[in-house]
Amino acid sequence: MEPFPDILWIEEIKKEDIPSVGGKGASLGEMFSIGLPVPRAFTVTAQAFRRFLVLTGIEEALFKKMEDLDVENAGDLEQASREAKEIVLGAKIPADMRSSIRDAYHQMGKNVIVAVRSSATAEDLPDASFAGQQDTYLNIKGDRDLLDAVQKCWASLYGGRAIYYRAKQGFDDRSVNIAVVVQQLVPSEKAGVMFTSHPITGEPLTIIEGSWGLGEAVVSGSVSPDKYVFDKRSGKVVDRLIARKLIQILPDGKRGTKEVEVAADRQEIPVLSDDEISRLAAYGKIAEEHYGVPQDLEWAIVAKEIFILQSRPITTIRDSPKAQAKSGSMGKILLEGQGASPGIGAGKVIIVRDAKDSGSVEKGDILVARMTNPDMVPAMKKVAAIVTDEGGMTCHAAIVSRELGTPAVVGTRKATVTLKNGQLVTVDGEKGVVYDGAVAAPIEKAVAEACVVAPAPVVTATLVKVNVSMPEAAKRAAATGADGVGLLRIEHLILELNKTPGWYIAQKKDEEFIQELYRGIRVVLDAFCNKPVWVRTLDAPTDEFRNMQGGETEPIEHNPMLGWRGIRRDLWSPEQFRMQVEAFRRLWKDGYHNLGVMFPMVSHPDEFIRAKKMMETWGVNVDEVTLGIMVEIPSSAILIEDFVKAGIRFASFGTNDLIQYTLAIDRNNENVATMYKPKHPAVLKLIDNAIQVCRKYGVECSICGQAGSDPEMAVWLVEHGIDSISANIDAVPKIREAVLRTEKRMVLKAASSRHA
């Protein structure tokens, strides 16, 4: 019998060849066969790899390294991986195999630059996405480098992550093979990725992300790419988000690639024209129709010529759009609002008009309300998604949903009228849309949680902190690797008790209140060990207290947002303030030196001085503890120097309020939501002024409002010298990435201007 060839060209490959050429190789071959513009490529087959193991005699020694390995033991895993790779890299590729690889390479042309990609034979199967676990080498030129790269790809089959995943997925190391795809590298002017259908819902929307240079910048996430949404039904581009593309990856002219800054005049212009988008989408359609499932494609464009580099099935969609369409589960859009907390939830509607209704909310329901109240929080914890008539990105429903990781759409204006109790709907908290029926399986909450427990382990000079409101979210928040808590809202600790602080005072149950606060705050302090946790004193507007026991005595205010809240209320109700201070005092006494206390709604330095004096009379050594303020009223931003002189240790921008008070826009009023502009020049001027004063005096300057969860705003803040940014749990990874990139760019700029 003829031995299986070491090399297969893409024109020889068919879909069934996965065992020989791996998922990537098979997919390329097949795409070539259906007429997609795939760059020239050949595969070093899995049989060649097997022959290499046998002919070099390393097989047994290699597999022994993984026998009886406890993959949960990181040290053992690391050692086995290192030794296995050494065995593969230490063997010499047999001469005939070397010459087959060389011959194939020469057939591509003279000294062609290629990408060498691992193509594991179990990779890219719908149920076992191994993509990214094995190596890829870009910009390889010449026989020697090519052979080295092939051997390194083989060795990467024994990387720690790959061994771990195989063990967990039940794949036998002995039977998993690897092929290597050698493909002409397209020196792309622009490149990116494309989902042929929406990656979560499976809707017929082609999503294309692109940036300048090689596609590696988009795939690795080192650049924020442009995003284009092409509706396959109308054949039109329905959404585009043009990002600021600061860097690109280019061949370095030697062996690898280099990251260079994008010229200023190209950073903010669109990468793709409408014509290119529709041509790309057309190729995506061919691939999807051919494979029968939505695809995740990599593309590149050079001199207007499109190339498709890779294709693999999207693994996040439960049902393909076709299956959904068939089952009639593609819902029509019932409502649109603001996507306030990402994720998708499907279930039956339950309309909650007041706290009494929330008793009938069951796990997995969709809570629909005019606006949520603190007394609805227990019900909010159970539901699959939340929809409100009113509110914007900083309303109660939005803040609590983000913290719970529950999808939410706010400000729909008419959810309580349009939706009916018991109706089945799907809520997309990313896009701000409510669909009729159960469109997609509610898998995103798990995804969202998975995203936050695996942060990029990077250290940034600007601290990236996290906001917390509920002790039960503390672990999730800490798992982001955040540098501390920039805002712990304590209202939620007591709102759940459903009794106002006034009730505890009237009932002479102050000790109970103090204990509750102490316990709740301590959970967060423990989760963050020695990292700073800034706890904010009470800041609940009177309308939020009204439905609670004791709430009958709350004054009725026309403008609760401008009313009896924040530090002003504590100064007028010393007993309410004392109970909080007593909880803090005990925590400090118990050694929680990571606790800092922050006063909200401060408008004049006198308020800070008075609060400090009161704390002193209650036994706090105010010179030793960390006390700071929220800068959320324009007056405090304007008078920041006086606050510094009054002894604040830190200042944190509460932009949710700062924006509403600067622009006279009620943050909870959906009628003026479009005028609520975090980047309004007046807001930015106030922030910049306060940052510069804080820097001058060495006082930590931070942000904990919702604007700090916006990567673009984070870039601006870092450029203007902020010390720390506190973001929502779900936003920490992207803020960290934005901060890191901005800092790197600033360092590079400073270095190049020094050498200029």
Is residue 678 at the binding interface for Mg ion, with CB under 5 A as the rule? Answer: no
**From Mg ion, ligand PEP, none, interface partner of 489 (C-beta below 5 to 8 A by class):** ligand PEP
**From ligand PEP, Mg ion, none, interface partner of 487 (C-beta below 5 to 8 A by class):** ligand PEP
Q: How far is the CB of 656 from Mg ion (least distance, A)?
A: 5
Which ranges of 357-460 does DSSP label H, i.e. alpha helix?
A: 377-380, 396-404, 415-418, 444-453
Considering just the CA atoms, what is the radius of gyration of the chain in Å? 29
Is residue 544 at the binding interface for Mg ion, with CB under 5 A as the rule? Answer: no
Q: Cα separation of 23 and 314, whole Å?
A: 13
Annotated catalytic residue within 198, 395, 396, 701: 396
Size of the site for ligand PEP (CB under 6 A): 11
Is residue 394 at the binding interface for ligand PEP, with CB under 6 A as the rule? Answer: yes
Is residue 582 at the binding interface for ligand PEP, with CB under 6 A as the rule? Answer: no
Q: How far is the CB of 544 from ligand PEP (least distance, A)?
A: 10
Checking phi first, is residue 367 left (phi over 0); if not, alpha (psi -120 to 50) or beta? beta
- Closer CB to ligand PEP, residue 416 or residue 656? 656
- Closer CB to Mg ion, residue 445 or residue 489? 489
Is residue 657 at the binding interface for Mg ion, with CB under 5 A as the rule? Answer: yes
**From Mg ion, ligand PEP, none, interface partner of 123 (C-beta below 5 to 8 A by class):** none
DSSP letter, residue 193:
E
Is residue 626 at the binding interface for ligand PEP, with CB under 6 A as the rule? Answer: no
Cα torsion angle, 667, 673, 677, 682, sign = negative
The stretch among 3-11, 232-240, 608-616, 654-662 that binds Mg ion (CB under 5 A) is 654-662
> Is residue 396 annotated as a catalytic residue, yes or no?
yes
Q: How far is the CB of 621 from Mg ion (least distance, A)?
A: 28
DSSP-derived pairing of the beta strands 595-599 and 533-536: parallel
Q: Report which of 655, 575, 568 is spatially closest to residue 608, judged by C-alpha positions.
A: 568
Interface positions, 697-756, toward ligand PEP (CB under 6 A): 704-705
Distance of CA 617 to the CA centre of its chain: 45
Q: Cα separation of 462 and 736, whole Å?
A: 9
Q: How far is the CB of 227 from ligand PEP (least distance, A)?
A: 27
Helix (H) or strand (E) holding 248: strand 247-251
DSSP string across 665-716: --TT-GGGGGG--TT-HHHHHHHHHHHHHHHHHT-EEEE-SGGGG-HHHHHH
* Residue span 522-541 as binding mask against ligand PEP, x where in contact by CB under 6 A, dash where not: -----------------x--
Interface positions, 467-496, toward ligand PEP (CB under 6 A): 487, 489
> Is residue 704 annotated as a catalytic residue, yes or no?
yes
Q: Cα separation of 78 and 70, whole Å?
A: 11
**Which position among 551, 654, 678, 711 is part of the footprint of Mg ion (CB under 5 A)?**
654
Listed in sequence order, the residues at least 6 apart from 643 whose beta carbon sits closer than 8 Å to its beta carbon are: 602, 605, 608, 629, 636, 651
**Which position among 17, 30, 632, 723 is part of the footprint of Mg ion (CB under 5 A)?**
632
* 689 and 722 Cβ atoms separated by less than 8 Å: no
* 434 and 334 Cβ atoms separated by less than 8 Å: yes
The stretch among 57-65, 137-145, 495-503, 649-657 that binds ligand PEP (CB under 6 A) is 649-657
**From Mg ion, ligand PEP, none, interface partner of 500 (C-beta below 5 to 8 A by class):** none
Longest dimension (CA), the chain: 94
Is residue 544 at the binding interface for ligand PEP, with CB under 6 A as the rule? Answer: no
Q: Cα separation of 660 and 667, whole Å?
A: 6
DSSP letter, residue 752:
H
Is residue 632 at the binding interface for ligand PEP, with CB under 6 A as the rule? Answer: yes
- Closer CB to ligand PEP, residue 224 or residue 706? 706
- Residues found near Mg ion in the complex (CB under 5 A): 632, 654, 657
Q: Which residues bind ligand PEP (CB under 6 A)?
A: 394, 487, 489, 539, 632, 654-657, 704-705
Active site residues: 396, 704
